[in-house]
Structure 1
Amino acid sequence: MASQQHIEKMQLRQNFRNFWHTDLFTTIQADTPYCCFALWCAPCVSYLLRKRALYDDMSRYTCCAGYMPCSGRCGESRYPELCLATEVVCCFGNSVASTRFLLQDEFNIQTTQCDNCIIGFMFCLQQLACIFSIIALIVGNSELREASQVLSCLADFVYCTVCACMQTQHKIEMDKRDGKFGPQPVMVAPSVQQMSRFDQAVPPFVGYASHA
């Protein structure tokens, strides 16, 4: 039942109307220092972003933002900071994904097809590296073992890079939420339009007053 709800949520996110403020390709240009910070101190960034996504209210914290089977069963209500620290260290990938889902559900953000391709490529490369490592272990060929190690290094590099860009994307989105890019545009009701009457020779003037 829970898995069916998660599938329905994933399908619902595909129809959200809003998009991320920056895509994964442009996050490095948008905030290079933070992207480097997210690359070298990934768990720390994940901790800070989740706390910020919760508006610094740790009483709202749930393990993996409520998207995993372990959510609500790890003593979060008593030790939220400790549980979050454990999550970002032991389940780093899930912590990044959970923060992403949290922001998407709050602001109705869908992921572009380009970003989906990047994330999908990252997962496929990891699975391919795992398969090659198993084959190399079974066969025992030294050349195949070296090739699997190179592929594993490439998969790890792509994983770390994509996660850094993804966390920078989350940070920029929360900067937008918190008004760091300036005030959000205010929706203004359209002005009342006047309708001309049949007994008027000329309809009333609507618009800016003419200069004398």
Structure 2
Amino acid sequence: MASQDYMDKMQLRQNYRNLWHTDLMGTIQADTPYCCFALWCGPCVSYLLRKRALYNDMSRYTCCAGYMPCSGRCGESKCPEVCLATEVFLCFGNSVASTRFLLQDEFNIQTTQCDNCIIGFMFCLQQLACIFSIIAMIVGSEEIQEASQLLSCLSDMVYCTVCACMQTQHKVEMDKRDGKFGPQPMSVPPVQQMSRLDQPYPPNVGYPAPAYGQPYAQPPPQAQGYPASGYPPAGYPPAGYPPAGYPPAGYPK
């Protein structure tokens, strides 16, 4: 049941409409110093990013952000800082992935095909290195043993690099969330005022607004074709109008 819920959430993330502010390939260029910091001090960065993802409110913390079976069963409510430190050091990969899922679900960020390929390559390389190590242990061949060591070293390098880029991606996304890139281009429009039939004349729609607190100096200009004053004009109605005997007798009945 838990695995099915996990698969459903993974499928749901494929349908999210938003994108990361920067993909994994562009994180080094986006924030080079932080990427180096995440490479050499990965658990520390994971601790800081998770706490920041929770808006520095550790009362909201659960182990692995609630995405693992152990979540909520590790005494997080009593000592969340200790539990988070234990998570990032003992389950570093899960801590990075949990922060990623937390941000994706909060901001509806989809998993792009490029990111999937990079993460999938990392997993495949780790599995291949594990298979070669088992074969080398069974066969006892020095050549296979050396190949397995090279693959293990390569998979560790790829793993550390991808995790560093992933954490930099999370940091850049939270910089965007916290407004460190300046005002967003799509700002919320101001509240519009709708004209009503019970507004006092003259309405301010279509005319320049007066100074604050000052009444209108003069009414809006009269529409063309209508006299401004003296209505009806002199000599109206004409003499002899209406004619005598109008309306006819007996009308209306």
TM-score of the superposition, structure 1-length normalised?
0.88
| Post-superposition offset of 1:4 | 1.5
Distance in 1 separating the partners of 2:4 and 2:142: 44
Q: Deviations over 1:23-67 (max 9, x none)?
A: 000000000000000000000000000000000000000000000
Q: Is residue 142 of structure 2 the alignment partner of residue 142 of structure 1? A: yes
| AA partner of residue 97 (structure 2) | A
Q: Which has the higher helix share?
A: 1
Q: Find the counterpart in structure 2 of residue 128 from structure 1.
A: 128
Identity of aligned residues (%): 84
Q: Deviations over 1:65-116 (max 9, x none)?
A: 0000000000000010000000000000000000000000000000110110
Q: Find the counterpart in structure 2 of residue 30 from structure 1.
A: 30
Q: Find the counterpart in structure 2 of residue 98 from structure 1.
A: 98
Gaps of 5+ in 2: 194-253
Between the two structures, name the one with larger relative contact order (CA 8 Å, sep ≥ 6): 1
Q: Find the counterpart in structure 2 of residue 69 from structure 1.
A: 69
Counting only pairs closer than 5 Å after superposition, residues 173-188 of structure 1 correspond to structure 2 as 173-184=173-184, 185-188=186-189
SS at match of 2:7: helix
Q: If you compute each CA radius of gyration, which structure gives the higher value, 1 or 2? A: 2
| Post-superposition offset of 1:188 | 2.8
Distance in 2 separating the partners of 1:67 and 1:154: 29
Distance in 2 separating the partners of 1:128 and 1:16: 32
Distance in 2 separating the partners of 1:21 and 1:111: 12
TM-score of the superposition, structure 2-length normalised?
0.74
Count the aligned residue pairs.
193
Distance in 2 separating the partners of 1:114 and 1:5: 25
Distance in 2 separating the partners of 1:27 and 1:8: 28
Q: Find the counterpart in structure 2 of residue 164 from structure 1.
A: 164
Gaps of 5+ in 1: 193-212
Q: Find the counterpart in structure 2 of residue 53 from structure 1.
A: 53
Q: Deviations over 1:159-202 (max 9, x none)?
A: 0000000000000000000000011231338x99xxxxxxxxxx
